[in-house]
Structure 1
Amino acid sequence: MSEKLTGGEALVAALRAHGTDTVFGIPGTHNLPVYAALSRYGVRDVTPRHEQGAGFAADGWARASGRPGVCLTTTGPALLNAATAAAQAYSDSVPVLFLSPGLPLRHPGRGNGYLHEVKDQRAALDAVVAYSHRVTAVEEIPVAVARAFAAMTGGRPRPMHLEIPLDLLDERAEVTIAEPVTVPRLAPSLPKVRAAARILADAVRPVLVAGGGGNGAAGQLRALAERLGAPVVTTANGKGVLPDDHPLAVGAGLHHQAVRDLVRDSDAVIAVGTELAPSDLWFGPLDIPGPLIRIDTDAEAVTANALPDVALVADAALALGSLLEHLIRPGAAAQGAERAARARAHHREQARAEGAAHLGLTRALATALGREGVLAGDSTMACYYGALSNLPGHTPRSFLYPTGLGTLGYGLPAAIGAKLARPEVPVIALHGDGGVMFTVQELATAAQLGLALPVVVVDNGGYGEIRDEMAARDEPVHAVDLPPVDFALVARAMGCHGVRADDEEQLVRALGAALEADRPTLIHLMERPPAEIGAA
């Protein structure tokens, strides 16, 4: 049924029809018609203090919930502020819809100094998202929204951008709101499934590598691992897809030598929903001596970084389920558990050595998060040396981390989005003192929302990773040391609680109190120098 709506109303009505109940963004002169329609359609608006924070919060919402997030900005600088978050979402295959007005339909092509004018705003976003589309009529808006949601929920999930000329947002027209399209999950080719099953039936020492693309197939992945007796290793984005206390779980972090040794000793490798990317492997590609079976919903990704012997281009759950139907392999689990136990011990030894400075932190985080909690981490040593491999993961979508792009400032706003998406579970943000300054203003957002959100800031006096890299290159160490900041005081100034923790016991108490508090709590934790770590 059609009705006469403004462009702003048509946009919000279409969003609501596709299940959107929360948008993250900041109102501006050019997007006011959209904001005017939000409450009419029951859509909650969350106002971060910077558009990059809005984009990261929508990303955290999407990762934690498994549903597309929505970021709404105004034109020009606002949308460009959100571009980093859009690029991060693209890199990690996160479905986020970025919405913005554009300059008027009949705006001069070469520009005339219009407010917020950008030479080619749509093209700027098109460079960092799956696609950017500019609508040309009010009637087109619901169709454009439907197409964007269909793209985000079918195949590889990635961010989209819709630009709506600002004069269309107030213009009225008869529109029909498109119903959500149910995108069928891509089923695997039966001959390919049979070929993979034959390889696995003959394998004596298989191993399973799980990425973020396996998060929606945790049950099938576990069943296949148990059928094969295959040890399971995961990428950062796949962390928790198999509980770390499962007998076949080796752990997260593909860069460890333990993983390389395990894969080299395997006679078949099944890679599910992972690009086997350099940002996960760190030290070059894996040595895969036996057949490689890759499962991915993206036909391009299935050949990235390593050519498969069998490629199953399909939804991970359907592909794994079909493999289970065609594979008969009794009695393999005992041997697999023994291999997994040896690899797990080796993996944990390396992880503990790598993250020695952060073991007390990860123990405290594990206590606070329990089995269901969510950690939103930043690109910080405390995460990629500490939490990635040393914090137990028990459920999919419980470790939110900016893997591919590796941006700073992700953790706090992503934690806000995750907590709003899943208010019933503990959510904690983890930052370094350098990265937190990129989005520290979002403490005010979390305070306004009244979130019981612990924000742990591990302080090593600057950009510690870059400091170490400079020293390793035997080059002058400079531009990496930052003067001390009283982060607890900063937090209190923004309406949060702010405390300092000097040891693991204090951190455990502070995290427990923060999860029960009436507002966010920033916990300032000084990193101890290596000489003081000892056998922590």
Structure 2
Amino acid sequence: MIVAEAVGRTLVRLGADRAFGVVGSGNFHVTDAMVAAGARYVAARHESGAAVMADAYARVSGKLGVVTVHQGCGLTNALTGVTEAAKSRTPLVVLAADTPAADLRSNFRVDQDALAHAVGARAERVHGADTAVADTVRACRLAVSGRRTVVLNLPIDVQSRQVPEPLPEPDPLRLHRPAPAPEAVAELARLLGQSRRPVFIAGRGALPRPCAEEAEERSAADALRELGAATGALLATSAVARGLFHGDPWSLDVSGGFSSPLAAELISEANLVVGWGCALNKWTTRHGSLIAADASLVQVDVEAEAIGAHRPVDLGIVGDTAATASAVTALLAGDERSPARGQLQNGRRGYRSPEVGARIERELAWNTVPYTDDSTGENIDPRTLSIRLDQLLPRERVLAVDSGNFMGYPAMFLSVPDERGFCFTQAFQSIGLGLATAIGAALARPDRLPVAALGDGGALMGVSELETVVRLGLPMAVVVYNDRAYGAEVHHFAGDGVDLSTVTFPDTDIAALARGLGYTAVTVRGEGDLEPVAAWVDGPRSTPLLVDAKITSTEGSWWLKEAFRGH
């Protein structure tokens, strides 16, 4: 057995059931070895797309993600997707071929370790035949235990060396929860017991953990729901964790730029805000405006350096979200001397009054917020489009949203069934990743309808992966919010005498392009044009669907105005 085969087999033994990539001579053998060991290989049309697919697959499936690329140019092509995964702390192994150390003049030679470090990933290496399995296990363990993206370099000359057999059986990759300090638990219990209007904001760190034993762990969502019920806290999430509290009558949905008017009002009136695995950055807090000046701010995170990184906090707790929430609930319920327990027993509901509950039921959803329909007959208002699509598309869906001026409309008006139904690759804020995100998410949840919401700029940037959707036979709905521009820049820089020709484009018939690749495609200029969508939903969905929606774009979206505030 050669090193390439040993590395591929070890990855599969450690739980990598899929590999995404573009195969060249440098990564041919290791990819083939993964397939031979039982993994499914998914060929992308571009390495960045492959990296994004692997990232999304890991997020939605909860499994270790693997992307396999050629040396040099294969890795540089993948870098935007790798950067997104690294900034999102996705447990992902980038299996990158590398040039031999002695081949100093190779056309493919670049400093791959430096590339990994530059984008926030961890660089590891397969050093030789005797260490090949151990090197692979180390990279995977780093990816899972640290929620890190790891570039595992596999030099060409090392790949062909003979490995001692039999291969050792690697131990399973399991992530243990760090427990919070008892004094920190007591202080949070005290604050919650005294608070009249507490709000929880759960972030990426509250999402289901990678490579977790489902039967052995309690979800963070359940732990936070129980603590919220005990303390009267309202429940919200950052954008990336949307869906975590779906169906809960006390859920405010998303905190930040995507907050509905009612959610923003209730969060800004809280006198205690607790971030659970949440960065509490400018997007989630609207540049801090959602945190009242007299509110206490608490942050719970598994990493000490994350606490207070974006906003000063009154209490920081290093600990796992589920473990910390459960410990606080237990203390409140079991400590007879706790003033918090006494206050709760006296019947205080915290923020959960009947009046607040009625307002949440009546006013929270974006589709209940009044607006003036800007549809013209030639172009459809993106709010009208999104509301109608939400009605037409099955509720059991997994939604992926690209970046751009349009993104708030599908992100907020299209409902999702849970946290596994929303995949938001926005940590690097690159356009062009949405379609590949939807492919990875679709493969992770084949029981749900995959929906890709893209701008025209992002759709054309990632256009090569339209073919991948057809080739894989995915019954995907691709919705293009087509304003014939890079809308974010148009609305940010628009003004008297400003030349916008660099960010505006002629109309493109994206529907025609999709038909040529095998899609059912429809051009939408008004609600009446959506009837073919209903027909496609009814079945048999034997081809993917693309909706080229010509949207109005008279002004920047509400979230964009907020995002650019102060710039």
- Per the normalisation by structure 2, the TM-score is 0.85
**Change beyond 3 A, Cα 1:91–1:140:** same
**Superposition RMSD in Å:** 2.6
**Change beyond 3 A, Cα 1:92–1:36:** closer
**Change beyond 3 A, Cα 1:371–1:267:** same
1:279: how far off?
3.8
1:525: how far off?
1.0
1:285: how far off?
5.7
1:369: how far off?
4.9
The equivalent residue for 2:225 is 222
Please say if residues 406 and 487 of structure 2, whose CA atoms lie closer than 8 Å, have aligned partners that are also in contact.
no
1:149: how far off?
2.5
**Structure 2 residue matching 1:455: 3-state secondary structure:** strand
Partners of 2:55 and 2:77 in 1: CA distance: 15
Calculate percent identity across the aligned residue pairs: 29
The equivalent residue for 1:501 is 524
The equivalent residue for 2:472 is 449
The equivalent residue for 1:146 is 137
**Change beyond 3 A, Cα 1:511–1:50:** farther
The equivalent residue for 1:67 is 63
Gaps of 5+ in 2: 209-219, 333-340, 375-380, 558-567
Partners of 1:452 and 1:520 in 2: CA distance: 5
1:334: how far off?
7.6
- Which amino acid counterpart does residue 440 of structure 2 have in structure 1? G
1:54: how far off?
0.2
The equivalent residue for 1:77 is 73
- Which amino acid counterpart does residue 401 of structure 1 have in structure 2? F
1:287: how far off?
3.2
1:23: how far off?
0.5
Match of 1:123 among 114, 131, 143: 114
Please say if residues 264 and 290 of structure 2, whose CA atoms lie closer than 8 Å, have aligned partners that are also in contact.
yes
For the pair 1:186 / 2:178, whether they are aligned, the reply is yes
Gaps of 5+ in 1: none
1:292: how far off?
1.8
Partners of 1:66 and 1:455 in 2: CA distance: 24
Partners of 2:330 and 2:137 in 1: CA distance: 35
**Change beyond 3 A, Cα 1:9–1:198:** same
Please say if residues 491 and 498 of structure 1, whose CA atoms lie closer than 8 Å, have aligned partners that are also in contact.
yes
1:473: how far off?
8.7
Please say if residues 236 and 399 of structure 1, whose CA atoms lie closer than 8 Å, have aligned partners that are also in contact.
no
Match of 1:252 among 251, 254, 262: 254
**Change beyond 3 A, Cα 1:521–1:369:** closer
The equivalent residue for 2:275 is 271
**Change beyond 3 A, Cα 1:350–1:478:** farther
The equivalent residue for 1:389 is 412
The equivalent residue for 1:23 is 19
Please say if residues 408 and 435 of structure 1, whose CA atoms lie closer than 8 Å, have aligned partners that are also in contact.
yes
Partners of 1:292 and 1:474 in 2: CA distance: 45
- Which amino acid counterpart does residue 146 of structure 1 have in structure 2? V
**Change beyond 3 A, Cα 1:265–1:285:** closer
Partners of 1:398 and 1:362 in 2: CA distance: 17
Match of 1:170 among 155, 160, 169: 160
- Which amino acid counterpart does residue 505 of structure 2 have in structure 1? L
Residue by residue over 1:258-290, the C-alpha shift from the partner in whole angstroms, topping out at 9 and shown as x without a partner, is 555434422211111111122444545643423
**Structure 2 residue matching 1:240: 3-state secondary structure:** coil
Match of 2:316 among 288, 307, 311: 311
Q: Which moved more, 1:331-340 or 1:138-147?
A: 331-340
Please say if residues 400 and 452 of structure 2, whose CA atoms lie closer than 8 Å, have aligned partners that are also in contact.
yes
For the pair 1:476 / 2:499, whether they are aligned, the reply is yes
1:33: how far off?
1.6
1:9: how far off?
0.8
Match of 1:50 among 37, 46, 69: 46
Partners of 2:81 and 2:422 in 1: CA distance: 17
Residue by residue over 1:435-487, the C-alpha shift from the partner in whole angstroms, topping out at 9 and shown as x without a partner, is 11111110111111111011111110111111011115974323111122211
**Structure 1 residue matching 2:81: 3-state secondary structure:** helix
Q: Which moved more, 1:9-18 or 1:168-177?
A: 168-177
Match of 1:372 among 396, 404, 420: 396
1:389-408 alignment runs, 5 A limit: 389-408=412-431
1:101: how far off?
0.8
The equivalent residue for 1:526 is 550
**Structure 2 residue matching 1:336: 3-state secondary structure:** coil
Residue by residue over 1:412-440, the C-alpha shift from the partner in whole angstroms, topping out at 9 and shown as x without a partner, is 11111111111011110010111111111
1:358: how far off?
2.3
1:80: how far off?
0.8
**Structure 1 residue matching 2:239: 3-state secondary structure:** coil
Residue by residue over 1:66-109, the C-alpha shift from the partner in whole angstroms, topping out at 9 and shown as x without a partner, is 222111000111111111011111222222211111111333xx
The equivalent residue for 2:352 is 336
For the pair 1:231 / 2:234, whether they are aligned, the reply is yes
The equivalent residue for 1:427 is 450
Partners of 1:368 and 1:65 in 2: CA distance: 26
